[in-house]
Amino acid sequence: MKQITGLLVLLFLLYGGITVSAQQKYKKLLWADEFDKDGLPDTSKWGYDIGGHGWGNDELQYYTRRIENAIVQNGVLRISLLREDYDTNRYTSARLLSYKKFDFRYGRVEVRAKLPEGRGTWPAIWMLGSNIATADWPGCGEIDIMEHKGNDPGKIYGTLHYPGHSGADGNGKTIVIKDASTVFHIYSVEWSAEYIKIYVDKKLYHTVKNSKLLPFNHNFFIILNVAMGGGFGGAVDPAFSKTSMEVDYVRVYQ
């Protein structure tokens, strides 16, 4: 009996203990934006992608750095997708990224957000490998913490893209959150050398085993954006005028 008990304790420490330590692993706040200062987003933390060339997905929006498309107000960041003629595009929006301002390897990312609504809208909370300039995509790796189609309300996508699993062949799963566009939810990822786990409100719905063969073992940066249409966003409501993704905070723990 003592031998059996000892074996059970050993198994718990080896397996159960790993689970506990993984949950407790990411407690130190490494970086955050609480969006508590009104005005343009903090330029020490966020830069912008600019332009309207489709972004590889035949998207319809032009990304700007205007306050009309990205503003911090009343404790939230609001990324607004607008129907307006701008350059040669019919819609404007914003794409914020921490590239060359903040990146990290391994940890937990939490983003509390309320998603936009409307057919064709495509909000995303995601990360790219900081070596994208040399490794290109998908060689740099991509972690999609949250994507949502306005054409399929409430269906949340968590996906990894890397060589052999990119574009429509990404390694992903979905979960349904019916009030994603009316209530704030926490979208998060836990990322280590052993695994990548994607959650909504602490509910785990996608796990990928990491390894040295995958491009998920170097620094990544964070991206927040709202796209329109394209290969993923799909058909656009002809009566669309405006919508926003609201972000309460972005926090990174290690």
∠ CA 223-94-163, nearest 5°, is 40
pTM of the predicted structure, to 2 decimals? 0.91
Nearest to 95 by CA among 129, 53, 154, 137: 53
- Phi and psi torsions of 232, nearest 5°: -100, -45
Catalytic residue annotation: 142, 147
| pLDDT tens by residue, 71-130 | 999 999 999 999 999 999 999 999 999 999 999 999 999 999 999 999 999 999 999 999
Q: Which residue type, as a one-letter code, is found at position 96?
A: L
**So what's the pLDDT on residue 5?**
44
Burial of 161 (0-12, 13-18, 19+ CB in 10 A): buried
Range 27-253: architecture per CATH: Sandwich (2.60)
Helix (H, G, I), strand (E, B) or coil at 184: coil
Nearest to 243 by CA among 74, 157, 119: 119
> Tokens at residue 59, please?
């998207």
Neighbours of 8 (CB within 10 A): 11
Give the H/E segment covering residue 16. none
| pLDDT tens by residue, 56-87 | 999 999 999 999 999 999 999 999 999 999 99
Stretches where the chain sits below pLDDT 50 are: 1-23
